[in-house]
Amino acid sequence: MKSGIQTRLILTTTIVLSVFLSLTGMVLDRSFSASIFAGAESQLRQVVYSLMGVAEEHPDGVRFASELPHPSLNQPESGLYAAVYNLDTSEGWRSPSARTTVVGFPEPSANLTPGDFVFSEADDGGVDRFFLSYTVIWEDPEQFKLTFHVATDQAPFAAAIRGFRRNLYLGLGLVTLLFVGAQLVAIRWGLRPLRTMADEVRDLEEGKRDKLSALYPSELHGLAQNLDRFVQHEQRSRTRYRNALDDLAHSLKTPLAVIRNALGEHNGTSDRQLVQEQLERMESTVMHQLTRASISGPTVVGHPVDLTRVLQRLVRALQTAYADRHIEVSLDLPERLIVRGDERDFMEIFGNLLENAFKYTGRAIRVSGSKTTETVVGIDDDGPGISANMRAEVLNRGTRADEIQPGQGIGLAVVAELVKVYGGKLSIQQSDLGGARVEFRI
């Protein structure tokens, strides 16, 4: 089973945050441990400097007063220990704390460079300790080398490191939980429009609503609009098919009754003429209803249609069909005039409009097009035109402004219905060529 978007985001966030905070914890832990070690070394250096300050000259070397500068050096098991060795005589001095505690100071070595501190850590009889050694050339009264050794137990420093680690990882764990919780709330809030859309789509499927709400963020607004267009397209298609079938059944009742009566009476030629008229009427009705039912309309995922190419193809075909009339056609079209829909619908629209123009023009037709905020296509001719009181009527089925040319008066009605389905506008005006101008806008 595929995981949801919310689960994926939470899982990804948790993994990334855990890795990031773990690396951060490791860096902080190492930095704190290094600072603890540096602090231990600095503390032991201060002890060495203080011992050098209270050292007293003696014929056998140096001696220290009974009261040492650090009280811990006088206390047994205090955790701070010191020793001084004369490298020339191998004699040494140990602090009271070191005399009561077995401390394994580094062995005196002549290889130690005077003036250099040597810091180390070691396991001294099961006790972890830090050691610092410093060699100095003591010049009064005689020149000789002294090595100062200072040691301290690691326990206090290790306890500080453990406490820091405990607080660090506890804090990072709480931060992780809080961040994941906040991220969960943010993701649920961010994905709420998707859940709302899913619920509304389910309501659409169950017939509880007929469109999606408009309260969607900008990222989902286009998707919601396309879903609404798809639903409306399906509803229009069902309505068209249902209405077309109803209209077809209703329209065929009368012609069928007339034919049935005519066939029953057998009155000769007049009956045949009557039957022929009714058959033509039935054919016109069937073609009209089938055309209405087959209208595609603006589809959600339709391919872009180049109206320039469609118009050029239609003009070439009609110029061939009406070659004997020598009609001049001027095309004032942009290189591309793109709309979205079904190309067959636009072939139907402009095929009817251009065919009417070729039928009724004198000698000239102009086809123009432009696109700014809307797409506009105009077809002008120099024919007799259409009177103002007939311009609205000719868009109705069966109404013709001219009874001379052959036809059944349904071409412009189909065009008007197609244009309405696409949410466009069809208007008939007076052309500057002297005839009619039919203008299509979408």
Residues 33 and 133 in one domain: yes
Name the pLDDT band for 400 (thresholds 50, 70, 90): very low
pLDDT value, residue 366: 92
CATH of the domain at 137: 3.30.450
> Does residue 197 lie in a domain region?
no
pLDDT surpasses 60 at 147: yes
pLDDT surpasses 80 at 395: no
pLDDT surpasses 70 at 296: no
Last residue of a domain, one of 293, 319, 348: 293
Question: What is d(CA 29, CA 161) in angstroms, rounded to the nearest whole number?
Answer: 8
Nearest to 201 by CA among 212, 191, 216, 193: 212
Paired strand residues for 117: 134
Query: Structure tokens of 119?
Result: 């810091």
> Does residue 184 lie in a domain region?
no
Residues 331 and 269 in one domain: no
> Does residue 196 lie in a domain region?
no
Interstrand relation of 61-63 and 56-58 (parallel, antiparallel or unpaired): antiparallel
pLDDT value, residue 3: 67
How many residues does this entry show for the chain? 442
**Across 205-229, average pLDDT:** 75
Residues 67 and 154 in one domain: yes
pLDDT surpasses 60 at 405: no
**Across 256-280, average pLDDT:** 61
pTM attached to this predicted model: 0.48
Residues 111 and 13 in one domain: yes
Neighbours of 244 (CB within 10 A): 19
Higher-scoring residue by pLDDT: 70, 248: 70
- Number of folded domains in the chain? 3
pLDDT one-digit tens code per residue, 52-91: 877 776 666 667 766 777 788 888 778 888 888 876 656 6
Query: Structure tokens of 287?
Result: 């073609």
User: Considering all CA atoms of the chain, what is the largest pairwise distance in Å, rounded to the nearest integer?
Assistant: 162
pLDDT value, residue 367: 92
pLDDT value, residue 280: 65
Domain span at residue 131 reads: 5-160
For residue 212, report the phi and psi dihedrals to the nearest 5 degrees.
-80, 155
pLDDT one-digit tens code per residue, 108-119: 665 677 778 888
pLDDT one-digit tens code per residue, 11-53: 888 888 888 888 988 999 899 988 988 888 888 888 888 888 7
Residues 426 and 308 in one domain: yes
pLDDT surpasses 60 at 175: yes
Residues 288 and 311 in one domain: no
pLDDT value, residue 309: 92
> Does residue 204 lie in a domain region?
no
pLDDT value, residue 326: 87
Cα angle 313-316-319, degrees, rounded to a multiple of 5: 145
Residues 336 and 437 in one domain: yes
pLDDT value, residue 279: 66
User: Roughly how many angstroms between the first and final C-alpha of the chain, as a whole number?
Assistant: 45
**Across 312-330, average pLDDT:** 87
Instruction: Give the single-character DSSP code of 393.
Output: G
**Across 268-295, average pLDDT:** 60
Last residue of a domain, one of 293, 322, 345: 293
Q: Is the peptide bond before 141 cis (omega within 30 degrees of 0)?
A: yes
Question: In the predicted model, what is the mean pLDDT of the chain?
Answer: 78
Question: What is d(CA 292, CA 244) in angstroms, rounded to the nearest whole number?
Answer: 7
**Across 315-336, average pLDDT:** 88
Residues 9 and 106 in one domain: yes
Query: Structure tokens of 197?
Result: 């859309």
Instruction: Determine what percent of the chain is predicted with pLDDT higher than 90.
Output: 4
pLDDT surpasses 70 at 273: no
pLDDT value, residue 269: 52
For residue 62, report the phi and psi dihedrals to the nearest 5 degrees.
-125, 155
Nearest to 51 by CA among 37, 79, 72: 72
Count the helix, strand and coil residues of the chain and give each as a percent rounded to the nearest 5: 55, 20, 30
Amino acid, res. 423: G
pLDDT value, residue 134: 87
Residues 128 and 18 in one domain: yes
* Spacing of C-alpha 282 from chain mean position: 55
CATH of the domain at 418: 3.30.565.10
> Does residue 92 lie in a domain region?
yes
Question: What is d(CA 52, CA 61) in angstroms, rounded to the nearest whole number?
Answer: 13
pLDDT value, residue 378: 92
pLDDT surpasses 60 at 426: yes
Side-chain half-sphere exposure of 117, counting CA atoms within 13 A: 17
Q: In what order do the strands lie in the sheet with 80-86?
A: 92-94, 80-86, 144-153, 127-138, 117-124
Name the pLDDT band for 270 (thresholds 50, 70, 90): low
pLDDT value, residue 399: 44
Please say whether the dihedral angle defined by the alpha carbons of residues 164, 169, 175 and 178, taken in this order, is positive or negative.
negative
Greatest mean pLDDT among 227-231, 385-389, 433-437 = 433-437
> Does residue 259 lie in a domain region?
yes
Residues 147 and 22 in one domain: yes
Question: What is d(CA 275, CA 277) in angstroms, rounded to the nearest whole number?
Answer: 5
In contact, 294 and 237? CB cutoff 8 Å: no
Q: Please report, for residues 40, 85, 91, the alpha-carbon distance to residue 112 in angstroms, rounded to integers and kept in the order given.
A: 21, 12, 17
Interstrand relation of 364-371 and 127-138 (parallel, antiparallel or unpaired): unpaired
pLDDT value, residue 295: 55
Please state which of the ranges 172-176, 302-306, 346-350, 381-385 shows the lowest mean pLDDT.
302-306
In contact, 297 and 421? CB cutoff 8 Å: yes
Higher-scoring residue by pLDDT: 101, 275: 101
Q: Please report, for residues 20, 41, 152, 169, 233, the alpha-carbon distance to residue 165 in angstroms, rounded to integers and kept in the order given.
A: 17, 21, 22, 6, 64
Nearest to 420 by CA among 306, 304, 288, 297: 297
Last residue of a domain, one of 160, 184, 202: 160
Residues 319 and 406 in one domain: yes
> Does residue 205 lie in a domain region?
no
**Across 196-210, average pLDDT:** 76
Q: How many helices (H) and strands (E) does the chain have?
A: 9, 14
Residues 154 and 22 in one domain: yes
> Does residue 210 lie in a domain region?
no
Question: What is d(CA 95, CA 81) in angstroms, rounded to the nearest whole number?
Answer: 6
